[in-house]
Structure 1
Amino acid sequence: MSDNPASPDRPSPALTALAEAHGVATQYWSFFGEQVTVPAATLRAVLRAMGVDPLTDADIDDALAAVRAEPWRGLLPPSAVVRQEGGTIAVHVADGHDVTLSVALEDGSWRDLSIPDQQAESREIDGTTVWRVQVPLPGDLPLGWHTLHAWQRPFGGGEVDRTASCVFVVTPNRLPEPPSRPGRGGRGWGLMAQLYSVRSQDSWGMGDFADLADLAAIAGRRGADFLLVNPIHAAEVTVPIEPSPYLPATRRFLAPLYVRPEDVREAAYLAPADRAVVDDARTPVAASDTDPRRIDRDAVWTAKRAALALIHAAPRSAARQAELDAFLRREGQPLQDFALWCALEEHFADTLPAGAERPAAAWDISSPLVAELRTPLADRVDFHAWLQWIADEQVAAAQAAATASGMRIGVMHDLAVGVHTKGSDAWSLRDMYAQGITVGAPPDMYNQQGQDWNQPPWLPPALARAGYAPLRDMIRTLLRHAGALRIDHVIGLFRLWWIPTGLGAGAGTYVRYDHEAMIGVLALEAHRAGAVLIGEDLGNVEPWVRDYLSARGILGTSVLWFEQEEDGPRPPERWRRELLATVNTHDLPPTAGYLADEHVALRARLGLLEQSVEDALADAAAERGAMLRLLRERGLIGAEPTEQEVIEALNVLITASPSLLLGVALVDAVGERRVQNQPGTDKEYPNWQIPLADGDGRAVLVEDLAHNERFLSLTAAVDDALRA
């Protein structure tokens, strides 16, 4: 029986209610201001990915009754994330019973919770009356990852007939403001760079963790408080390597692609013949360090993997082995699963013909095939687990160099929205992800068909059942040796655009997440690490989200070119205080390219313009003219400013904002014109493969910055303006 035979694409009231009960949006406001009703086919596909597949009206009614009854069936919720200020937790107790609650704290001690006398709500569940009791939480519970225990017994002191426990997380109400140097009114600035693009004389063809340390030290001596870099999540371990750092294999572990082989301690003790092999592996890729055209990740990883395998085989001292063993124990089974995925990737790349599909069982971590391969691949599993230890050591050294240079924050990592559909996380945490769904963005003026990012979404109920451990562990890895974390597309912690396979990006809908829990976990881990959180909240974001993040002490982001009012640029004095403010972003051309209309020329070449070239140039000229007028009105430029003077003036302009943090793009500091990522392209443009170069197309190395006039002038101008 159809739920709506007259209009199969329009959901029935029952299907609408079921979707909304699962946090699935049945209507939403589009970028163009229209209210869109989500088609029934989309709702059914999304519900199916959540494990709900009603075929008839009766099935829908049963599923709706089940989801509404589910919270009442558990004595405790699957997990509980609360703020330290207190609040309540709902406990569901059978009629005629008492309940006792205690919290097992992280330090091993216990705290009993008082059950109040109250008028509780009740409901009939499976023939039994169940009472919902709202238990108040004391405001002095310590922050941390605890366990809540409940015991239910009949009135009058009978035997316990039901027990339950759940992860119980107490999170800070608000994070403190970012640390800064004296004389800046509590504000700070930092450098923003694409790490892979920033090479040195000792690089292996792309920037690495050693270059990260050197760049941080240089920026710190110039007065910077942080260095924001692209995500350094692990990608593939076989070629071709995905260029986008925003489409990783895992967000839990680091990319060994950025390891500097010579900085591994054991490399210093290699036999001369083995050291010569390492040097020979580096020579061809190092020759490209001064080539400004394109980063070749495939060549870099092929050379590094061979060198690192040789170093891994070298003997380790007792102390070094003890450190490795401690690291492996701390990272536990998740690291072993990731290392096994890496070994399997290599195995199938080596044993299958090019283009051949691997066995279906290989995609299942629990399959007999995977179990069978563990033993013969044990050495490669050890190698990839060891690589994570080495990467961890080198990132720690970079953070140490950053803080030693005077930075108050240090390295600022970037968290990608999600992971590749065939990556390690999607494989080892399969039950945590929705199958047959990818995430993206609905249609807007820039992408009228919508965007599909080819990333599977987390299942909200699965996260809750796991006590948000995957989120916690991911954040811990990134903040272990860092002072801040930028969260790309932070709205994804509130709602994500789910796209059922085969329906197209525009035919998706939003799915809600428990933002209070997810933000709470982030805040707790940042608090423990003493780190700053920044949420990238550009674009179509519900206004209350920005207020919520600010109230939790999480900074937002603003880009100068996007801060517009009806009559022109919004004066920076009217920007928000809880911000990371910047002139541009990696999805825009560097400012030199923007001023020269290279973004229009590039989009025209690639066929991405939605208007004529003449109209696009006219719009760009109008936008640029309004910004230059603002700079002249403030006395920041003269009548005929040079490109360098305009770039410096724009960066000085944003120091007039009350924003707590300011970001200076390294590409602006050297005069680079080429964009790192051109939205709307895949193979048409070498996204995420552009090495750092100046305005004349010459490669700029880390060593060059110490005497690069533009770099020195811009960093001095921003530092002086912030101290004024």
Structure 2
Amino acid sequence: MVRKATTGGDEGARVTQPGASVLRTGVVLWQDRSVADDPGTASDALLRLAGAYNVVPDHWDFHGQNRRASAATLQGVLRALGVDASSPERVDLAIAHVEDMPWRRVLPPVLVVREGRQAHVPVHVTHEDPVEVWIELDPEVGGGRREVSQADVPVEPRTVDGRLVGRATFTLPTDLPLGWHEIVAEGPSASAHSPLVVTPSRLELPDALRDHRAWGLMAQLYSVRSRASWGVGDLADLAEIGWLAGRELDADFLLINPLHAAEPTVPLTPSPYLPTTRRFVNPLYIRVEDVREAGYLSSADRTLVEWASEPVLATDDDAGPIDRDAAWTAKRAALEVVFAAPRSAARQAAFDAFVEQEGTGLETFALWCALAEKYADATHWPAAALDPSSALVAELRVELAERVEFHLWLQWVADEQLAHAQRAALDGGMALGIMHDLAVGVHPQGADVWALGDVLARGATVGAPPDMYNQQGQNWSQPPWRPDALARAAYKPYRDMLRTVLRHAGAIRIDHVIGLFRLWWIPEGADSADGAYVRYDHEALVGILALEAHRAGAVVIGEDLGVVEPWVRDYLSERGILGTSVLWFERDMHGAPLAPEHYRPLVLATVTTHDLPPTAGYLAGEHVAIRERLGLLTEPVAVVRAAALSERDQMLGVLRDRGLVGNDPSEREIVEAMHRYVMATPSVLVGVSLADAVGERRAQNQPGTDQEYPNWKVPLADSSGRVVLVEDLFTNQRLRSLAAVLNSGR
């Protein structure tokens, strides 16, 4: 029976209700500051509504000043969350709605709990009605049924929509196995079920890293080409680099850029961090000749493939910007020839099994690709085509069946080649193999936005407030997850994405891991600085990440650079998620470079990052010169240049004090000394930029730019600007010398 009394606590579980506040976990929201006293910011009611949806109306900037969002900003963010806050009356109505919302559901849409911890689940039924609750265990852990007992937690009933609703509290068993279970409630006024996710309390390091210091290379795969690449580094190159780095250099991992899918038609978005979907792979990275059926083509078809390859093969040693459009145009034509070739019965069965395993998500993505091809020359898609459930889309699914199958096949082929690359890296002796990278979000007009409905917000994009490196703030043009809708979807889009990326990974890097805790939402039409943070259920997001990584046997690294609250790093470390330390950014309380012995042990430590020029370029002040040239500075260039020179001199002073360089070191000696410095830290992983290893000076990316700089188009080259191909990479003396430094520091 639902007992009449007062509300009880809930310490162990994350009961994710759309719109429910997450104050119970210790997250600091607006209630902890007195911004409501400022009438120029927002009304008390608007602040209350923002808090209910976990919108934070103020933040501390990189100067240490408290910045408060305007009422217009809060209204814009709430509008993107599907909440009308345009007038005081509508604000009051929205508050009443969100506060009643949990009581309208028998069960929360999803429950995420940690293994071994006591947790409770609220069940809402007509007051004084009986209800029975049990758990159906995940079939992947053997299935079965577990009974759940009701706890003596009295809660006052609540009148909702004219009905008196009571809350019964049930205690979950503490010995539930890890997995995706289902909790079921049945009674006269209750018939409901919800996913129950039991996550690892801590993601432990694999045995290979517990007593072993590991280092690895970091590469932008598209930039590292061989003589057989079609203008872009590909998955065959990945396998070659992984195997040789393990065998020749004794490296333990190879961190690469995100391989998420781009558009199926040209022009392709150059940034690997602005994909059309994060779940599936960019077929641009397929090596055509490595598809098994390519070896059995007729002479005429083989000639077609060779003709397609000739123009782009000729660009592999060109130091100019990479032309993805030319590479994909050639590669797609060749892949269509291979796709049309007959497959053996076993190969066809393997293809069919892959499609069945990936299910609706893959089929929907392939359909979107076919539609994107059909409407490639149109200014806008027909309105009905924007709705995956429309009659028009159903008709086009039949009409475009062959193109849909082609895109299904591309994903199967890419998956096979990814699997081979990971096996090659491990066979070469790597402890982890390929470390994949997960982007923050997706393209606003891409497949995920089309397929996932309201799980992704409309009317707002993700970015970052101003900081010392991007003084105008950043807008990444990516629609954020809606926390409420993601919970209603039981986090399945997030889980499915993680499973695909982790399938052939020894590790995964989560770009901007603070996005699992909060994201900077910029309302449509607003400047990058005029946004607000939205909080996420980090216990659920990090827990599910840990569960899927545990199942895949992968290490997780969170990129926790920038403005990150200290408790976040502590929390991630507690859960076994490694952090990130970049030499240039690690400072002590006096602003000096942090001594290596004071680095965190559970991190991936590096000298640089892909958002900075390679170390040789950084030492030469290239990060200042680029921003001056592109008009990105908000301070006088002389001031910024002087600060950069002071930073360089300070770093050289620290290296001299530790005996790592002499009085007049060469660029190469400085770069090697900086890596010796990082190897002196207790960090469990150390990453080395391949660009640093060969002396490249050009930046891959300049944050805050689009067309002004050739972002993500710079091929790997040495200090003289000559392209370094895979065939010449492991005889490169600068690379081998740096590898020796790293191995001696283990």
Identity value in percent: 60
1:109-160 deviations in Å (ceiling 9; x for gaps): 11111212344454343454444344332221010111110123xxxxxxx3
The worse-fitting range, judged by mean Cα deviation, of 32-41 and 701-710 is 32-41
- Measure the CA separation in 1 of the matches of 2:689 and 2:444: 31
- Measure the CA separation in 1 of the matches of 2:161 and 2:383: 40
The worse-fitting range, judged by mean Cα deviation, of 35-44 and 455-464 is 35-44
Matched, 1:110 2:145: yes
- Measure the CA separation in 2 of the matches of 1:423 and 1:655: 41
Q: Is the contact between residue 444 and residue 478 of structure 2 (CA under 8 Å) also seen in structure 1?
A: yes
Q: Is the contact between residue 493 and residue 513 of structure 1 (CA under 8 Å) also seen in structure 2?
A: yes
Deviation at 1:197, TM superposition (A): 0.3
Q: Which amino acid aligns with 2:217?
A: L
- Measure the CA separation in 2 of the matches of 1:536 and 1:511: 19
Deviation at 1:627, TM superposition (A): 1.2
Residue from 232, 235, 251 that aligns with 1:224:
251
- Measure the CA separation in 1 of the matches of 2:656 and 2:95: 62
In the alignment, what sits opposite 1:45? 76
Q: Which amino acid aligns with 1:515?
A: H
Residue from 395, 399, 406 that aligns with 1:376:
399
Map residues 468-479 of structure 1 onto 2, 5 A cutoff: 468-479=491-502
1:51-105 deviations in Å (ceiling 9; x for gaps): 2214443332232122112112222101111111223233234332333211111
How many residue pairs align between the two structures? 704
Residue from 215, 220, 224 that aligns with 1:194:
220
SS state at 1:322 partner: helix
Q: Is the contact between residue 591 and residue 673 of structure 1 (CA under 8 Å) also seen in structure 2?
A: yes
Structure 1 residue runs of 4 or more that deviate by more than 6 Å after TM superposition? none
Matched, 1:465 2:488: yes
Map residues 198-347 of structure 1 onto 2, 5 A cutoff: 198-221=224-247, 222-347=249-374
- Measure the CA separation in 1 of the matches of 2:641 and 2:116: 54
Matched, 1:14 2:45: yes
Deviation at 1:219, TM superposition (A): 1.3
Matched, 1:176 2:204: yes
The worse-fitting range, judged by mean Cα deviation, of 10-19 and 190-199 is 10-19
In the alignment, what sits opposite 2:107? 76
Deviation at 1:162, TM superposition (A): 1.6
The worse-fitting range, judged by mean Cα deviation, of 117-126 and 513-522 is 117-126
- Measure the CA separation in 2 of the matches of 1:644 and 1:537: 29
Q: Is the contact between residue 367 and residue 397 of structure 2 (CA under 8 Å) also seen in structure 1?
A: yes
In the alignment, what sits opposite 1:101? 133
Q: Is the contact between residue 92 and residue 130 of structure 1 (CA under 8 Å) also seen in structure 2?
A: no
Q: Is the contact between residue 179 and residue 409 of structure 1 (CA under 8 Å) also seen in structure 2?
A: no
Deviation at 1:34, TM superposition (A): 2.4
Q: Which amino acid aligns with 2:128?
A: G
- Measure the CA separation in 2 of the matches of 1:394 and 1:77: 41
- Measure the CA separation in 2 of the matches of 1:559 and 1:379: 48
Q: Is the contact between residue 73 and residue 92 of structure 1 (CA under 8 Å) also seen in structure 2?
A: no
Q: Is the contact between residue 695 and residue 718 of structure 2 (CA under 8 Å) also seen in structure 1?
A: yes
The worse-fitting range, judged by mean Cα deviation, of 69-78 and 267-276 is 69-78
- Measure the CA separation in 1 of the matches of 2:633 and 2:627: 6
In the alignment, what sits opposite 1:162? 190
Q: Is the contact between residue 180 and residue 225 of structure 1 (CA under 8 Å) also seen in structure 2?
A: no
- Measure the CA separation in 2 of the matches of 1:654 and 1:601: 26
The runs of 5 or more residues in structure 1 that have no matched partner are: 1-6, 153-159
Deviation at 1:614, TM superposition (A): 3.8
- Measure the CA separation in 2 of the matches of 1:283 and 1:699: 19
Q: Is the contact between residue 121 and residue 133 of structure 1 (CA under 8 Å) also seen in structure 2?
A: no
- Measure the CA separation in 2 of the matches of 1:475 and 1:453: 21
- Measure the CA separation in 1 of the matches of 2:347 and 2:706: 43
Q: Is the contact between residue 583 and residue 607 of structure 2 (CA under 8 Å) also seen in structure 1?
A: yes
In the alignment, what sits opposite 2:6? none
- Measure the CA separation in 2 of the matches of 1:435 and 1:604: 34
- Measure the CA separation in 2 of the matches of 1:702 and 1:24: 48
SS state at 2:641 partner: helix
Q: Which amino acid aligns with 1:98?
A: P
Q: Which amino acid aligns with 1:168?
A: L
Matched, 1:405 2:440: no
Q: Which amino acid aligns with 2:145?
A: W
Map residues 509-658 of structure 1 onto 2, 5 A cutoff: 509-565=532-588, 566-658=590-682
- Measure the CA separation in 2 of the matches of 1:147 and 1:243: 41
TM-score, normalised with respect to structure 1: 0.94
Q: Is the contact between residue 292 and residue 693 of structure 1 (CA under 8 Å) also seen in structure 2?
A: yes
The worse-fitting range, judged by mean Cα deviation, of 33-42 and 426-435 is 33-42
The runs of 5 or more residues in structure 2 that have no matched partner are: 1-37
Q: Structure 1's 673 and 56: CA in aligned 2 closer, same or farther, altered over 3 A?
A: closer
- Measure the CA separation in 2 of the matches of 1:35 and 1:330: 49
1:403-458 deviations in Å (ceiling 9; x for gaps): 11111111001000000000000011122111111111122333343221111111
Q: Which amino acid aligns with 1:96?
A: E
- Measure the CA separation in 2 of the matches of 1:458 and 1:198: 33
Deviation at 1:264, TM superposition (A): 0.2
Q: Structure 1's 668 and 259: CA in aligned 2 closer, same or farther, altered over 3 A?
A: same
TM-score, normalised with respect to structure 2: 0.92
SS state at 1:446 partner: coil
Q: Structure 1's 710 and 453: CA in aligned 2 closer, same or farther, altered over 3 A?
A: same
1:529-558 deviations in Å (ceiling 9; x for gaps): 000111111001111111110000000101
The worse-fitting range, judged by mean Cα deviation, of 128-137 and 303-312 is 128-137
Q: Is the contact between residue 75 and residue 164 of structure 1 (CA under 8 Å) also seen in structure 2?
A: yes
Q: Which amino acid aligns with 2:467?
A: D
- Measure the CA separation in 1 of the matches of 2:520 and 2:625: 31
In the alignment, what sits opposite 2:170? 135
In the alignment, what sits opposite 2:20? none
Residue from 493, 517, 521 that aligns with 1:494:
517
- Measure the CA separation in 2 of the matches of 1:224 and 1:132: 56
Q: Which amino acid aligns with 2:697?
A: R
In the alignment, what sits opposite 2:27? none
